[in-house]
Amino acid sequence: MTRDTVRLADLVARFGGEIVGDAGVQVCGIATLRGAGPTDITFITHSKYRAELGATRAAAVIVSEAERHSTSLPRIVCRDPYAYFARVAALLHPPPVVVPQIAATSVISAEAQVPRSAAVGPGCVIERGASLGEGVALGAGCYIGENASIGDGSRLYAHVTVYPQCKLGARAIVHSGVVIGADGFGFAPEGGRWLKIPQTGRVVIGDDVEIGANTTIDRGALEDTVIEDGVKLDNQIQIGHNCRIGAHTAVAGCVGIAGSTTIGSQCMIGGAAMIAGHLAIGDRVVIGGGTWVTRSIDSPGTYLSVIPATESGEWRRTVALLRSLERMSDKIRDLERRLAELEQEQ
């Protein structure tokens, strides 16, 4: 990959900020403080990295106002170096250009809509009634079911499965192994057996959503499962039927969200958190990694329930003590009673 070169002056013209030092310095890559070489621009997000800043070999640095004087390198001073870094990185490492083409080994229904601007990889299958938006890119072996639709500018990597009727918005990024719209887990018990409940809803996904590898989002039972605009889902997440995830909520890897739960907008759900079904989580709620949510949460705030790893001997004692909590509580009550008697006799 030959990459374009860009001057600090060009960056500031695009993204704002103030240059301190030589505005003509050219960079062609972005890197960490440690990893940067003489053609890279780097960035510092926290004063604790000042020692690394002192040792960096980068050509230039993105800094906050607080770090304006922490280096003598050419630098861009801005309000939020991490966001600035994201923009510079996106400029220097744009996603691959979509070259419109239809692979010979793809199988596309005559009743599907595939615009000339789309790219369809080898082995893709697009069923009747399905439609791709302008500039959509499907990696190898994607499956787009009947009447499913993919919004403009979306990119599906290899081996993504979209079940019938499901809808993705514009500019989606969907990684390999994702399954959108499989049946939710709906069964009625009857005489020790399970009757399957047809899952007749869809998955409806807004614009600017990213979905990580091997994540699964089930179709609704009767109504739809909804993922709103700007939601970011990491890998191996499971979202049950009839859930709704609010706009711009980010969900880290290995999270499970059981059916019919609604999550507000701008929430952050830590890795491997598990959220029970039929709950309502409000806006701007932060759930810690591994936390188990069993009740609805109204108010913004941070919620936890994970106990950190402990050396095994100490942990075994803790578990034993946990099991004796009831006895401890009884003993305290007994002590209180006996002490009160003694005090009275005094």
Residues forming the active site? 241
Taking CB under 8 A as the rule, does residue 38 contact a copy of itself?
Answer: no
Q: Token pair for residue 214?
A: 């091997």
- As measured in angstroms, the least distance from the Cβ of 164 to a copy of itself is 9
From candidates 59, 179, 203, 267, binder to a copy of itself by CB under 8 A: 179
Taking CB under 8 A as the rule, does residue 187 contact a copy of itself?
Answer: yes
Taking CB under 8 A as the rule, does residue 338 contact a copy of itself?
Answer: yes
Taking CB under 8 A as the rule, does residue 57 contact a copy of itself?
Answer: no
From candidates 12, 23, 98, 250, binder to a copy of itself by CB under 8 A: 250
- As measured in angstroms, the least distance from the Cβ of 192 to a copy of itself is 5
- As measured in angstroms, the least distance from the Cβ of 72 to a copy of itself is 23
Report in angstroms the alpha-carbon separations of 136 from 95, 177, 210: 13, 18, 14
Taking CB under 8 A as the rule, does residue 21 contact a copy of itself?
Answer: no
The residues in 251-280 that bind a copy of itself, with binding defined as CB under 8 A, are 252-254, 256, 258, 266, 271-272, 274, 276
Longest Cα–Cα distance of the chain, Å, equals 97
DSSP letters along 85-149, please?
Answer: HHHHHHHHSPPPP---EE-TT-EE-TTSB--TT-EE-TT-EE-TT-EE-TT-EE-TT-EE-TT-E
Binding mask 79-118 for a copy of itself (x = CB under 8 A): -x-xx-xxx-xx-xxxx-------x-x-x-----------
Taking CB under 8 A as the rule, does residue 246 contact a copy of itself?
Answer: no
Taking CB under 8 A as the rule, does residue 66 contact a copy of itself?
Answer: no
Alpha-carbon gap, residue 265 to 285, rounded angstroms? 8
CB 157 within 8 A of CB 139: yes
- As measured in angstroms, the least distance from the Cβ of 47 to a copy of itself is 17
Report in angstroms the alpha-carbon separations of 203 from 127, 169, 177, 256, 289: 17, 11, 17, 17, 26
Q: Token pair for residue 234?
A: 């990491």
Residue whose C-alpha is closest to residue 284's, from 320, 248, 311, 328: 248
- As measured in angstroms, the least distance from the Cβ of 205 to a copy of itself is 15
Taking CB under 8 A as the rule, does residue 49 contact a copy of itself?
Answer: no
The residues in 287-316 that bind a copy of itself, with binding defined as CB under 8 A, are 287-295, 297, 301-312, 315-316
CB of 25 or CB of 275, closer to a copy of itself: 275
Taking CB under 8 A as the rule, does residue 207 contact a copy of itself?
Answer: no
- As measured in angstroms, the least distance from the Cβ of 57 to a copy of itself is 14
Alpha-carbon gap, residue 41 to 108, rounded angstroms? 45
Taking CB under 8 A as the rule, does residue 23 contact a copy of itself?
Answer: no
Alpha-carbon gap, residue 161 to 140, rounded angstroms? 11
Q: Which residues contact 243 (CB under 8 A, 6 or more apart)?
A: 225, 226, 257, 259, 260, 261, 262, 263
